[in-house]
Amino acid sequence: MIDQRKRSLLWDIFKGFGIIFIVFGHTGKVGGAIVYLFHLALFFFVTGYFFNEDKYGDRPFTYFGHRLAGAWPRYVLYCIFFALTHNYAVRHGLMPEGQAQYNASQFVTSVMSSMVFERPEMYSGPMWFVPLWLLGAVLFAGVVKSGRVLAGTLGRNDPESEEKIKIPVIVILSLLCMLIGLYAVQYNINALYHMELAFVIEPFFAMGYFMKKYAPSWQEKVHWAIMIAVVLIIFFIFTRFIAAGIWFDLASQYIFGMWYYVGGILGIIFTILLSKLVENVSLNKILPEKLFIAPGAKNPVSGLLALLGRYSFDIMAFHIFVFKMLDMVLRKLYYRDPGMDISAYPSPLSNRWWVLYLIVAVFVPLLAGILIDRIKIWVAKACAVHV
């Protein structure tokens, strides 16, 4: 079994690829539809992988509180920033036609709405899945809790018997969640915060949980040549998906039934192997270690991807705002056309300038996230001094 340090690095790289896929998908570049086949499933899967059953297996709502405490402050912080910049965006033509400038009460309404995970600001669009992710996580924790309770009731205090009961129960309940979710999608049932989709995505949490439990290091046993071959084969399969008109938009319940799970599973395997390939490249003897960025990284790319993975929330939350700032910069400095319409969402220019948008919209939010963490540390130290 691989050690925890390597495993954490691998999964940070995994999340780093995941957030790059999300930003690339939003550029609108041809090929972006491929990442829509699986990009969100990556984050549901990795959350299930790191579910701490020893700590939260019998306390799903404590787990929900833990996840909420991690996501809520940054969610609200970014939404407040978007509310503060709303009028600026309207004045400079960054918003769609019909958007009005806020007065004081409208600003307060926007901020208060963000506190309950509503998305009053256009730039907060990518954060639609945060409450869904939270609901999916607590639903999965509830499934595990149900399995443990039933196993404890029927297992007669025999750990081996309890395990044999718990696992099938989790599998059955996860399949039941999937069927409920597919039913809701088929009949266009819409619940608050996309709750109906929490049932759709629950199996991905379970997949991560079972991989951690039974095969946490399977990727360590695959030869690099086989990894490359599988990555290329899966990519080819994805091109066939798109050619056949199969693509997914989870928020719109456009998932093509069971094909959603096929795409998600293939995407998870694709990204695990891609992450492992990057992690395995060793440049320790060629480059100084300080260039590797992340502890345990063997090359600068793996270290950078791991860093992106650790700040994936910030990149997800902030990249559309960066898109619009780039729109404005290009309008002024490149096109030199003050009347140019740049109100289209997420950007009318990102398709053509997709490399620029991808790079800047990944690294600016990364720096913002690092800055926020530094400020938190500084404030904590300042408060500790005055206590």
User: Position of tokens 């996840």?
Assistant: 67
Closest CA to 12 of 323, 293, 211: 293
- 140-192 tens-digit pLDDT: 999 999 999 999 888 777 888 888 999 999 999 999 999 999 999 999 999 99
Dihedral (C-alpha) 249, 253, 257, 259: value to the nearest 10 degrees?
10
pLDDT of residue 289: 79
> How far lies 41's CA from each of 36, 93, 238, 249, 256, in Å?
9, 34, 15, 12, 15
Domain, as residue range, for 74? 4-385
Overall domain count for the chain:
1
pLDDT of residue 2: 40
- Per-position b or e across 266-296, b if 16+ CB within 10 A of its CB: bbbebbbbbbbbbbeeebeeeeeeeebbbeb
pLDDT of residue 295: 84
The stretches in the chain having pLDDT less than 70 are 1-7, 386-387
pLDDT of residue 6: 45
d(C-alpha 263, C-alpha 240), whole Å: 11
- 54-96 tens-digit pLDDT: 999 999 999 999 999 999 999 999 999 999 999 999 999 999 8
Confidence (pTM) = 0.94
